[in-house]
Amino acid sequence: MTPALDLSKIQNCSSCIVANDFTSALTLCGEFLEENKNHHYGILFLALTAYLMGDTARSITLLEQLHEITPDTQEVVDALAIIFARSGNLGEATYFAKLATVLHPDPNIHNLVPTFFRDFASALTASSDSGKRISSALAFGKGNYAECVKLCKNDIKSSPDNWAAYTLLGKALNKLHIHDEALTSLQTNLSGMHGPNSDALLEIAFSHRKLGQAKDSLLAYRIAAQCCTDLETETEILSQIIEEISSLDCDTSTLHQELLKRVEAIVLEDVDEAILISGGEDMASRKIRIAYLSDSFYDCSKGHFLERAFNKHDKSKFEIFCYQQNTQSDATTSRLKVLANDWRDVRELDDLTAAYLMTCDGIDILIDCIGVSRNQRLNVIAQKPAPIILSWLNQVDATNLAAVDAILNSESLSKGGISFDAGANLLKMDHTIRSERSEDTPLIFTTLCELENTTHDTVLAWAEILKNIPDSSLLIGGPGSTQNAIREKYTSLFMNFGLADRIFFHNSQQDDLNLGELFSMSDIHLAAFADKNINNAAAILTSGTPLIALKDNEKNKNSISTNTDLIEHCGKNEWLASTPQEYIAIVCNLASSYKTINKSDLHDEIIQMPPFQAETLSQDLEGAFVDALKGKGLL
């Protein structure tokens, strides 16, 4: 017989809420949830407390998630109606208020919920304009960036001194690749706040970077790093800056090392005395426990790599544990949960508790797929919760921490650690568009709209190529290519060469979705010298388009595989250049013999290469796991 649920902590929590003792209420919620894992009563009271402490967006998110799990709980629906009404979102408030009338109260907790969260009439009279800001934040959190822009502009119109709305507007505009307008909005925030704001400064730096203004971007990052000292979020902000400056086209080495030292010092200062190593025992008689710590268990480039790895892991030899740090959840998340043996959400856990949980799970190898980035869990890694810690898929790996044993990259993995599903995850192409062409048809070169990667040397090389190949043109497409400010910048880059009339832009209003159309129109794709994106490279190659790239002198410094790694593992070394001069020569030679290339045949050839075979990635990783265990004498 199931024992009765002990609601004493919920009763005490309710009393603390009525007494405005929200700190104690939070503590009681935490204790109840520890005793009754993820029980909806505890989550409900956690959401109510969050609202009363001013975190409306978090409260609504928790309640909406709870409503999906327990759609018939009247108390949850009541709370949503009240909070939306008091926030000024009367449409959502009315919907939930009507829904509540057909539901029945839960006798266990109905009288424990403070009357504040059951009095809809009072909530309507207390409705305020602040709901506009809350609604815009929710729209942003759900990825409805166009709606967020609309709501922020309305809010600013009614309240011009709402400086927070300018920051949110700038963030949403950046997501929509409208970086010039984003910059204006964010700079307005700084002017109104009369002081540095690290959140706005990070977005300003991002806007400058996307507009190809590397030095202005670096300056904004420096100021953001200076003004976040002693903030609780210092490690988080510094980690984000470290990750983002790594792609700037200017010398960032001094700032990079300076910030890494700061982050390392903060992390090591907080490391508990007790090292939590567990696992690594009796593996001869059981499966090896592999754990992935990631903020990318959803539909994104990292998430796709993880799903491909999970799909083909040998379940007879390995158990897969996942520790989720991402807030987003979607269909990819659901598929990954099915593929994993165990799944833990560690977002709300403190570092020591998260590390202790991994220790209790007896993990043999922990793979850090976050690294030094905004969502970092460096303090968890520093606790050494597994005998072996590896780093993978990170722009900046936490190799400064002694706890990290090695990074997994194209050098340490025997097959490059690269895998793409040519049938499911790449773009569908019309290979006939450029295959059936006459010899006198002018060549179309394509490149992706990435001003931050388009270095001075890149422009010089492209200009030389266009001069050497009469009537050829450069077609620029992808995210941001429809924005006037970006188009004007690209045009100005080629103006001095007298080539502005041979630069064109892909006129797709859905530039995130129509890369397939762009690559289908391409004869030869020119990668900017600083462009190392492997996912774009996979789409380009499987379109049957030759991809010319400059080798990275910093190769294998991190665990992100690059476009040049992919080209190499597809057996196309002749498309890789060591110098700008060689890059120009390769393109010109290829252009002179282009009539011999059939895009459909090239597509068929590419998808037979190892990077496009499903088993490659899992086999590569599993081989590295076994080698790591043998290296430590654990296997």
What are the extents of the domains in the chain? 8-128, 138-270, 283-419, 432-612
CATH top-level class of 432-612: alpha beta
Residue 141: CA atoms inside 13 Å, Cβ hemisphere, count?
Answer: 17
Contacts of 159 (CB under 8 A, 6+ apart): 129, 165
Amino acid at 35: E
DSSP 6: -
Provide the 10 A C-beta neighbour count for residue 40. Answer: 18
- Asked if residue 483 lies in contact with residue 476, where contact means CB atoms within 8 angstroms, the answer is no
Superfamily the domain 138-270 falls into: Tetratricopeptide repeat domain (1.25.40.10)
Q: What is residue 445's predicted lDDT score, i.e. its pLDDT?
A: 96
- Asked if residue 294 lies in contact with residue 306, where contact means CB atoms within 8 angstroms, the answer is yes
Give dist(CA 7, CA 583) in Å, integer: 70
The partner residues of 323 in beta bridges, in order of sequence, read: 293, 344
CATH of 8-128, one of 1.20.120.330, 1.20.1260.10, 1.25.40.10, 3.40.50.10280: 1.25.40.10
CA 337 to chain centre: 19
Low-confidence stretches of the chain (pLDDT beneath 50) = 1, 129-132, 273-274, 424-433, 435, 511-512, 556
Place of tokens 């408030």: 93
Give dist(CA 568, CA 359) in Å, integer: 39
* Residue 359: closest CA among 275, 462, 302, 416: 275
Whole-angstrom CA distances from 616 to 221, 319, 561 are 39, 19, 14
**Would the CATH topology of 138-270 be identical to that of 432-612?**
no
Q: Can you give the pTM of this predicted structure?
A: 0.72
Residue 173 burial by Cβ neighbours in a 10 Å radius (0-12, 13-18, 19+): buried
- What's the CATH architecture for 283-419? 3-Layer(aba) Sandwich (3.40)
For 322, the enclosing helix (H) or strand (E) is strand 318-324
DSSP 522: -
CA 624 to chain centre: 25
